[in-house]
Structure 1
Amino acid sequence: MSQSSNSQAIGPRYKWIALSNTTLGVLMATINSNIVLISLPAIFDGIGINPLDPSQTNYLLWMLLGYMVVMATLLVTFGRISDMFGRVRMYNLGFAVFTVGSILLFLTPGTGDTAALEMIIFRIIQAIGGSFLFANSTAILTDAFPARQRGMAMGINQVAAIVGSILGLILGGVLAAVNWRLVFLVSVPFGIFGTVWAYMKLRETAQVNRNQKIDWLGNITFFVGLIVLLLGLTYGIEPYGDAATGWGNPFVIGAIVFGLLLLIAFVFIELRVPDPMFRLSLFKYRAFSIGIFSNFLSSLARGGLQFMLIIWLQGIWLPLHGYSFEDTPLWAGIYMLPMMVGMIVVGPISGLLSDRMGAKTLATLGLLVQVLGFILLTLLPADFNYLWFAALLALMGLAQGLFSVPNTTALMNSAPANQRGAAAGMNSTSQNAASVISMAIFFSIVTLGLAAALPTTLSTGLTQAGLPTATANQIAHLPPIAALFGAFLGYNPMATLIPAPVLHQLSAASQANLLGKTFFPNLISSPFMVGLHAAFYISAGLCLIAMISSLMRGKQFIHGESEDDITIEAQPKKAILAQHGANQT
């Protein structure tokens, strides 16, 4: 049965059911991707480990990035499987798996290292469920909505993703202050409701092709290649020997090289197998290839932005303005709200406009505004006026709304109906992989900037504050990533860096000065801003390349639901309405 007749049979209101359910799924998944960022101090304190201890830093990295790494490696595979066995069926499974992962996290039974390992495994289970949700939500929307309304649907859906990412920061801070287990419990009722609702209300509107074979070799090489590559990039953030970062670590170099070789082998495999996992044939459509490329570059530019802005707020700005380090995680989430507002306001509007005028103008303008936003961020001092900071956050949210929604809509419109799951998975994979790479790059740039300037600054400042010279020099040459992570987690960085016996030997006035709210921010601000500005300039350059690419995307293109492809400009309105008539209600 064709998609159109199926859509008509299940009723004209079905598209709104699909939109509300997928929006709930995306909202829940994105809340959980960020909720641990703010609540990590409470979580680690609750299970009894010190994430800044060199022997336990791996737990911190995996809790921060493990969810995104797993999702990045599974999205294409799950999108392809969904095309074969049913998008709605796999989406429903994702809701159920995600809910089970949330329940297990809430019930984490152990303590210490055991509990940390349990939580990482349970987060991976969550990520598996989230991969099914993300791999199918845009495909289900594309199936359910007629071409002239897909931009609006994508706009609402992606606004939910942005709201979830910021809401997760705030919820994490509020709930962790009560009990760390509530951070994971909050998802359970929504997960149960969403699972039942999806099972009862969602219907398969796309043709399912079970005759295709699973591309096992392609799946294995892609999964192993990408996860090994991302692991190498993740551990590149950590110090190695006397170096501030791990890019000289043989493991990191080997992982990156081996991962890239497997991904190159994967491309050759996909060109030769009859039913490839990665639909390389989709790249023959300009709207798809330009959309994927632009999305990858934009995500590469923005993926680490939220981390860096939060560290800026928590490590420098908020303490300078009287906030205790323990309270900075929650307030950082609150002060990031203007970015969410910008996206909420512009996202649906840009989606509606893209339904009428296509993606080229809107997406290109959005990328241009992002370039401007990154450059303007470099003009702010470390201790900025918040009104200017909020205005720039709103501008960046506005820019992302202008670009992301039309770009995703155009990309999905270009994919054949029976390959939309694969298309959505490929798009989400490019975004998630780019975000992980971006965080590795941003952290490395800022860390290298700190490593070059911080030792002298820190040694001089600690000595002047009364610390013995030998101790001050020893602390000054500790890996700067520890100070960054300490500020990010809401710890007082000086309290974590200065040995307690040494600290207790100082006078009360010296202790108050060292542990005060201004000592560390004033020391770190100058070298931190050097690295941060370099990262912003690189991001502006990436967005500029993406903008040039977006200009080449051509006219608005919609892949026909019949045997022939159609473009909106190439056919009269009557023909388009006839082609999509069954869906126009």
Structure 2
Amino acid sequence: MQYKWIALSNTTIGVLMASINGTITIISLPAIFRGIDINPFTSFQYLLWILMGYNVVTATLLVSFGRLSDIYGRVRLYNLGFLIFTIGSILLFLTPNKGSLGALELIIFRIVQGIGAAFLFSNSAAIITDAFPFNERGKALGINQIAALAGSLIGLILGGILSIINWRYVFLVSVPVGILGTIWSYTKLKELSKPNRAEGIDWAGNVTFGLGLILILIAITYGLLPYGSSQLGWTNPFVIGSMIAGLGLIGLFLYIETKVKYPMFRLELFKIRMFAAGNLASFLRSIAYGGLMIMLIILLQGIWLPLHGYSYAETPFWAGIYTIPLMVGFVTMGPISGWLSDRYGSRFLATLGMVIVGVGFLLLTTLPYNFNYVEFALIIFLIGIGNGMFSSPNTASIMNSVPAKYRGAASGMRSTLQNTGQTMSIAIFFTIVIISLASSLPTALASAVTRAGAPQLAPYVQHIPVTGALFAAFLGYDPVKTIISSVPISIPQQAISIMEQRTWFPTAIAPSFMGALREAFYISAVMTFIAAVASALRGRVIIADGEENAKNR
């Protein structure tokens, strides 16, 4: 087997494994919380950190690890990432305690996993770029990008299956793959780059960037929690302080990078038109698209699946199944677009892909809450096609545009912008939906309980946090039983019988939720079309290896 295929196979398995673990907890959270005896409705901070901590840590470390790989070797740090990730998976499987201590252990062990994933993500594209000639990189990076998105969707389905058996299996599944991948990478991968250990480490840049990004992402995370009488935490002094401090440190970081001899963040790379345009398009696409999956899952779990006879306990698994067309669309188009970009260039394919995704978002706004599944499946399949058409050519053009000695840093910068955009997207989607729901959901629920014969419930449901209503269905809990169990008054049995019908809660919240969701989709469509403009402005590609293709690519 030629070495380039060994490099592609191993890095694809590494990215697939890391991506699966980025989403596998979304579906399995109910089983995990039951397993460690935690009530998620009184422990939102644990819920958010188990859900988002992995991505926060990964996004924070990508640039630093990419730069370190240019100094110490991409394969060496990639191999280390496989090892760390496997150790984190073993620790998660063994989580010894329950309650708050068990939750903290899960968060810490997920952070260990996230550190390993950052090594894998920051180096995989650079290793592939080193191993493949420029006219085959689009196809190779396309396969790698497919693994990243396919892993995100496989994680949803796998989490649903394994959590039914035992919540610990959610983390155990990575262990054999991690062990085999670690042995394979240490024995078969070769260092084709030329590490430059003469260059020093930018400690000031690493510290200010890491702390700044962590503070910003912490602020975004806690901004989603209720604060005082507000449904969101954006007025919380801790959130405001974290955001200001984080932005200040990022500003200081950018200043430091212009002064140090060996910067970790190669700002001069943004002078390369293709690198700058490709990363801007990728960042905007991540903000527009990153929160889509969670919103679709909440729509399916909270409204559509119960309306079609599924119990709330079953909805997490089936929500993953019903989103498969999104993965199929991406997997179908990813390799084709990579192959076409090697022959005809990246600009047209990547730009058209973003236009298709934007049209897909607009089509989602036309769906009623009790939609026809075939229409829904075709729309998310179309969005998958558009993403597949964009990802491979865009990544190839970014990596082709930088000098070989900076590929580690470039790969880390690309991944950081992408992962940060995805984390921001989740916060933006939730913020838009919660703000919109806060003005309409309390009144809708009060009217619904009054019609059901329990007007005495109206004052209570008007003060239920929107996050509680959203996360109840998201976690596979029956929202009505959750509401009834939390009020200190007796309710007529006839009213309880009406409200416990599977269609009652979805029908009560659907108009408010769909209105909020459409606002989010409109904003995503606009951002996606702006990403298409950025993609179109990338210009003609100059292969940084020294070969130039005269076609507009």
Is the 2:454–2:491 Cα contact (8 Å) retained in structure 1? no
Residue 15 of structure 1 pairs with residue 17 of structure 2: no
Question: Does the 8 Å CA contact 1:76/1:425 hold for their aligned counterparts?
Answer: yes
Distance 1:178 1:499 in 2: 28
Structure 2 unmatched ranges of 5 or more = none
Q: Distance in 2 between matches of 1:147 and 1:500?
A: 61
Indicate which of 237, 241, 251 corresponds to 2:238.
251
Q: Distance in 2 between matches of 1:31 and 1:506?
A: 46
Does 2:36 correspond to 1:50? no
- Cα distance in 2 for residues equivalent to 1:304 and 1:117: 25
Aligned equivalents of 2:406, 2:275: Cα separation in 1: 12
Secondary structure at 2:314's aligned position in 1? helix
Which residue pairs with 1:230 in the alignment? 217
1:33 aligns to 2:22 (yes or no): yes
TM-score (norm: length of structure 1): 0.93
Alignment-derived partner of residue 151 in structure 1:
138
Deviations 1:364-395 (A, max 9, x none): 00011011111111000111000000000100
Superposed CA offset, 1:26-74 (max 9, x none): 1100111111000000000010011111xx1100000111001001100
Q: How does 1:121-270 map to 2 (within 5 A)?
A: 121-270=108-257
Structure 1 SS opposite 2:332: helix
Contact 1:357 1:556 in 2 (8 A): no
Shift of 1:495: 1.3
- Please give the alpha-carbon distance, in whole angstroms, between the structure 1 residues aligned to 2:19 and 2:490: 43
The question of 1:487 aligning with 2:473 is answered yes
Q: Which amino acid aligns with 1:22?
A: T
One of 57, 60, 81 as aligned partner of 1:94? 81
Q: Over residues 252-303 of structure 1, what are the superposed CA-to-partner deviations in whole Å (9 max), with x where a residue is unaligned?
A: 1111111111101111100110000001111111110011100000000001
Match of residue 65 from structure 1: 52
Q: For each residue in 1:59-107, what CA deviation from the matched residue of structure 2 results, as whole angstroms up to 9, or x when unmatched?
A: 0000111001001100000000111001001000000000000000000
2:517 alignment partner, one of 532, 543, 549: 532
Which of 414, 418, 428 is equivalent to 2:401?
414
Match of 1:458 in 2: 445
Which consecutive residues of structure 1, in runs of 5 or more, have no partner in the other structure?
Answer: 1-11, 572-585
1:98-113 equivalences in 2 (<5 Å): 98-113=85-100
Query: Hey, what's the Cα distance between the residues in 2 that align with 1:58 and 1:128?
Result: 21
Moved over 3 A (4+): 500-505
Distance 2:12 2:427 in 1: 29
How far residue 143 of structure 1 moved from its aligned partner, in angstroms, is 0.2
- Paired position in structure 1 for 2:529: 544
> Which whole-Å CA distance do the structure 2 matches of 1:86 and 1:504 have between them?
67
| Equivalent of residue 548 in structure 2, options 557, 562, 567 | 567
| 1:527-579 alpha-carbon deviations (Å, 9 max, x no partner) | 1111111101111111111111111111132102xxxx4421189xxxxxxxx
Aligned length: 552
Q: Is the 8 A contact 1:445 1:534 kept in 2?
A: yes
Alignment TM-score, normalising by the size of structure 2: 0.98
Give the Cα separation in 2 of the matches to 1:146 and 1:504. 72
Which residue in 1 is equivalent to 2:335? 348
Bigger mean CA deviation after superposition, 381-390 or 242-251:
242-251
The code of the aligned residue for 2:544 comes to H
Cα separation, 1, equivalents of 2:354 and 2:541: 18
Structure 2 distance, partners of 1:517, 1:276, is: 57
Distance (whole Å) between structure 2 residues aligned to residue 537 and residue 45 of structure 1: 37
Corresponding residue of 1:9: none
Deviation at 1:357, TM superposition (A): 1.2
Q: Residues 284 and 566 from structure 1, CA distance in 2 versus in 1: closer, same or farther, beyond 3 angstroms?
A: farther
State the SS of the aligned residue for 2:59.
helix
Counterpart residue number, 1:300: 287
Q: Which residue of 2 aligns with 1:519?
A: 504
1:523 partner letter: A
Letter in 1 for 2:98: T
State how far apart, in whole Å, the 1-side matches of 2:501 and 2:24 are: 28
Among candidates 484, 500, 507, match of residue 498 of structure 1: 484
In structure 2, what is the equivalent of residue 576 of structure 1?
Answer: none
Q: Is the counterpart of residue 75 in structure 1 residue 52 in structure 2?
A: no
State the distance in 1 between where 2:199 and 2:489 align.
67
Amino acid at match of 1:531: A
The residue aligned with 1:580 is none
How far off is 1:500 after superposition?
A: 5.8
Deviation at 1:413, TM superposition (A): 0.4
Residue equivalent to 1:578: none
- Aligned residues of 1:503 and 1:511 also touching (Cα < 8 A): no
Alignment of 1:268-417 (within 5 A): 268-417=255-404
Aligned residues of 1:455 and 1:473 also touching (Cα < 8 A): no
Aligned position for 1:478: 464
Alignment partners' CA distance in 2, 1:453 and 1:145: 54
Q: Report how far residue 515 of structure 1 moved.
A: 2.0
Taking only aligned residues, the RMSD between alpha carbons, in angstroms, comes to 1.3
Q: Determine if contact 1:475/1:498 at 8 Å carries over to the other structure.
A: no
